[in-house]
Structure 1
Amino acid sequence: MARQPLAPVRPPCRLYLITPPHIAHLDAFAAQLEQALDAGDVAALQIRLKPAEEGDIRNAVQRLLPIARAMGVAVLLNDRPDLARTLGCDGVHIGQEDAPLAEARRILGPDAMIGVTCHADRDLAWDAAEGGADYVAFGAFYPTATKETAHRPELELLSTWQETVEVPCVAIGGITVDNAAALARAGADFIAVSGGVWAHPDGPAVAVSRFAAVLAAVAEEI
């Protein structure tokens, strides 16, 4: 019998943290962040403050970026490729109403990480992937209080994307420790979480630890 080629091993799904939209006490949050990042595997931190003055965004990046870097966590800034470059972030996450992908790439250069929100639209994701995005984000998969959402993709979108496209996909929106496994099994390369960590009743560090355990268990299955 002819030997069959081995199926490619899919990397485990990883946690992608997003800050709360408002940080009342930056030093206190920085301490929480350090504890959270020390509690389990985190791939990236997106600093997303809305609404916020530019000075507040600068202060947040300057305070939080060194903490994440010390833990080997990539730092992306939401919406602002210009500030991301000025402040030394690893990249930017842009929405459909933000700076175009080509403009963000021009500002940040070829080595920066750029992610694009694609809601529940596979065509938007294809365009982003072909345009050089480093990842595409689908969501919101579940109800969320972090931001207003008008799109609710099915899990099948993650599976189809995983099977047909090499560009990684991020699942976002209302993700908790209880529903994260379904997204990881469906094909998410990353799960983006905000309230599910920062508003966890047992604290952010416990939340990250539990997310890490869930994702590790799914990785053992697939």
Structure 2
Amino acid sequence: MNFYLISPSQNNINFNLKNFEKISSIINVKYLQLRPKFDEKKFEEQFLIEKYNEFNNFCKHKKIKLIINDNLKMAKKLNADGVHLGQNDCKCRDARKFLGQSFEIGISCNDSIFFAKEAQKNGADYIAFGPAFRSVSKVTPKKNIDLNDLKKKTKSLSTPYFIIGGVNHGNIKKLISLKIKNVALINSIWNFVEGPVKSAELYKKTLGL
């Protein structure tokens, strides 16, 4: 199973390079997304700059894609590997025109195969579906996606997709049973009571690695 790690939305003592290096040696991390959520834009940009500089060299060495959430200008300024966009953000085609062909573009598609096919048609490099389970990282009125139904519908997609939202050490077994290949994690890594490294070790054990 491949993992897409998303940063905490605020400064978190557990979100640091030392922990990330250990985590990536335990589970198969393919992406790291920086997703700050501050009241003031200047603090979000400060977070992006500081964390990009902290993680960039290691990510390049390990071929882990470093992704910026929403902010196209910062993604281009930092020369990140890509950007992740929601349905209410800049359109995929416009983002591609602004960033160029070398940047990866990911699109959140909620539970919609229609959105996913549109994203695929418009050149998205990957798609995210969610929430899979009740999320403590993102307050949303959205219902959980029907994983069994989604698994059937995604057979028509050629673009890789990730499952996001409330994934933890217990419910990931449902994703394993459905042979889901790509999973995004936030809270269950950075806010795990025994720390992020122990969390990664527990995921490894659950996956039988």
TM-score w.r.t. the length of structure 1 is 0.83
2:206 to 211, 214, 221: 214
Please list every run of at least 4 consecutive aligned residues from structure 1 whose deviation after the TM superposition is greater than 4 angstroms: none
Q: Partner of 1:78 in structure 2?
A: 69
Give me the whole-angstrom Cα distance separating, in 1, the residues matched to 2:173 and 2:99.
Answer: 34
3-state SS of 2:55 partner: helix
Contact preservation (8 Å) 1:158, 1:187 = no
Residue by residue, what CA displacement relative to the aligned partner does 1:158-195 show, whole Å, maximum 9, x if unpaired?
Answer: 31244221111110000012111312432533100001
User: 1:15 touches 1:212 (CA, 8 Å); kept in 2?
Assistant: no
1:155 aligns with 2:147: yes
Distance 1:185 1:115, change over 3 A: farther
Q: CA–CA distance in 1 between the matches of 2:27 and 2:117? A: 32
Partners in 2 of 1:70 and 1:209 — Cα distance?
Answer: 22
8 Å CA contact 1:39–1:206 kept in 2: the answer is: no
Overall identity of the aligned pairs, in %: 26
| TM-superposed deviation, 1:19 | 0.7
- Equivalent position of 2:5 in the other structure: 17
Q: Distance in 1 between matches of 2:171 and 2:104?
A: 27
Q: CA deviation at 1:136?
A: 1.0
Which structure's CA Rg is the greater one?
Answer: 1
Aligned residue runs from structure 1 range 1-222, under 5 A: 13-25=1-13, 29-51=16-38, 52-151=43-142, 152-215=144-207
- Cα deviation, residue 154, structure 1: 0.6
Deviation at 1:198, TM superposition (A): 0.8
Please list the CA deviations of residues 123-153 of structure 1 after superposition, one character each: whole Å capped at 9, or x if unmatched.
1111111111111111111111111123221
TM-score w.r.t. length of structure 2: 0.88
Q: Report how many aligned residue pairs link the two structures.
A: 204
RMSD across aligned positions (CA): 2.0
Change (3 A) 1:215 1:108: farther
